[in-house]
Structure 1
Amino acid sequence: MSDTIEAVFDTVAAVAGDVRSVLRSRRSYEAAENPSGEQQLAADVYADERLEEELLDLPAVGSYASEERDGLCEDSGAYHVACDPLDGSSNLQSNNGMGTIVGIYDEQPPAPGDALVAAGYVLYGPITTMVTAVGETVTEFLVEDGTREVLNESVTLPAEPVTYGFGGRAPDWPEAFATFVDAVEADRLKLRYGGAMVADVNQVMTYGGIFGYPMLADRPEGKLRLQFEGHPMAYIVEAAGGASSDGVQSLLGKTPTDIHERSPVFVGNDALIDDLESTLADAQ
């Protein structure tokens, strides 16, 4: 299994190098929308097609699922990869942070969180970095020319939280969640929210804190996709010593019935996730 996991991460790093090199020439919008009703950029389509092609070329990868396509692309193999090929791609127009998210499952999607065997993300920031989680080991890499170089062999979430960032419009937040945000701000955490989950979670991984896209008044299921975003990021943060939640339970305890199923998503320091769940429970 370890060879397969490393092969998947090596492939994602190689594709990331290609994606980074073409971003400036693929900023235009396509006519098509993805299955979530979001307009696709040329960069979304390119990243998705390259990942699908290269990952399914690996003998052990039996299926590829993506936020950018309706169903599974199937092959023979024991492991299954779910990707958000270009997370935060709307930031391309304004030249802000974006990323790639990948989850490796030993069950075909839609798969439960406990079927994850590894997860990772690539951050296209001032430099390109990759964070991977296998079991309880989280490693950070520098990605240059499509290859990985270890920067930190044992990434852990800092014990003292510094940052927070929450998606959605504040007027659409449920009252109980708004109460929790008031408490976070009273603790003088610093607001860091850039509209790309990878970049925002990486802030939490670096400085400690909490990131979330909550349930909304008109969308109680939230916005983020569990299979492509919630599960992989929860796996990484929990492996680094943090916690995840949908407001009630760990995201890794959830099983989607559809590969594009949405969920409220919160990841960060244990104490903050505990406070979140307590605040929401008290409002019931």
Structure 2
Amino acid sequence: MTAPDADGGDPADAGSVVEAVFDAVAETAPEIRAALPGRRVKSGTENASGESVMAGDLYADELLGDAITAVDGVGSFVSEEREAAVDAGGAVGEGAYAVAIDPLDGSSNLRSNNAMGTVVGVYDAPLPATGRDLVAAGYVLYGPITTMVVADDDGVREEVVEAGADGSVSRSVVEDNLRLPDDPLVYGFGGRVPDWTDEFTAYAREIEDELKLRYGGAMVGDVNQVLTYGGIFAYPALVDAPDGKLRLSFEANPIAYIVERAGGAATDGEVDILDVEPEGVHDRVPLYVGNEELVERLKAALD
């Protein structure tokens, strides 16, 4: 899989395009983080999914859009905050890649000053596409430390992202082979309990007797807990929202890709998330990810 350079010369391989994309994401992370204190209010607009957008969402989307569309080998940029893809000048699937972004996952946490992040998926196909078309995925977590988790064919690594006094940005690998622990410790389930299905409620009652609750309202933070300690995260199908809340292209596929590369499993309750066939770029899907045994138990409970 190759991508042409700007002059039509020698193509760059997928690895160099992926690295350039995550360089661009890392470069924007300190700027996004520094701008959040002044952008904790609603923007007065809605995104393509009909959700109220925070000022921080729009700022992060603009920064990331500019940075990623400037990367040679990126053919299109697709954001949770935009109705349609931005053409970056290459034919996706014919030498260029589509990058899907959730610019500020968990932005509702801005007001309460809790964790949030940025989710990234790099696809070798025009969107909408399945997760099998991903060549890499990752996320930035704006916690007490700014970290970035990146997954590709080589595995999953965790980095610390820091801004220097001179404005430069460094990436330091702190874990080069991130794997889910064999003995799970935590769980986090989204949605209102009265809206859960009976089958999921029964499963949750079992899990809460076995694991510790860790749920903060930002998928990135909650999944990072699972990657760190082992366990399961879910935003399930709800009685009044059978497709759940999370977007397949921007959230579920990238997170499923990361968790599977780390030795875990991901499902929509019936099939592997990466095999879900989308109809539109803003499709929603239930998401259950974590240690394989817990995910298999979940699938059996929902069957």
| TM interval, short-chain normalised | over 0.9
TM-score, with structure 2 as normaliser: 0.91
Instruction: Provide Cα deviations, 1:107-132, integer angstroms capped at 9, x if missing partner.
Output: 01101110000000000000100000
TM-score, with structure 1 as normaliser: 0.97
Question: What is aligned with 2:80?
Answer: 67
Matched to 1:34, the amino acid is N
In the alignment, which of 185, 190, 193 is matched to residue 167 of structure 1? 190
Q: Secondary structure at the match of 2:104?
A: strand
Question: What is aligned with 1:25?
Answer: 38
- Are 1:10 and 1:147, in contact at CA under 8 Å, matched by a contact in 2? no
Task: Percent identity, please.
Answer: 54
CA distance in 2, matches of 1:72, 1:266: 27
1:185 positional shift = 1.5
Q: Secondary structure at the match of 2:224?
A: helix
Matched to 1:89, the amino acid is S
1:136 positional shift = 4.5
- Are 1:55 and 1:64, in contact at CA under 8 Å, matched by a contact in 2? yes
CA distance in 1, matches of 2:120, 2:30: 15
Return 5+ residue gaps in structure 2 as ranges: 1-13, 91-95, 164-168
Matches within 5 A, 1:125-136: 125-136=143-154
1:186 positional shift = 2.3
| 1:12 and 2:25 are equivalent in the alignment | yes
Matched to 2:133, the amino acid is A
In the alignment, which of 234, 237, 260 is matched to residue 215 of structure 1? 237
Q: RMSD over aligned Cα, in angstroms? A: 0.8
Matched to 1:148, the amino acid is R
CA distance in 2, matches of 1:139, 1:115: 20
In the alignment, which of 225, 237, 243 is matched to residue 259 of structure 2? 237
In the alignment, which of 246, 268, 279 is matched to residue 246 of structure 1? 268
Count of matched residue positions in the alignment of Structure 1 and Structure 2: 280
Matched to 1:42, the amino acid is A
| 1:85 and 2:107 are equivalent in the alignment | no
Q: Which has the larger radius of gyration?
A: 2
- Are 1:59 and 1:76, in contact at CA under 8 Å, matched by a contact in 2? no
Return 5+ residue gaps in structure 1 as ranges: none
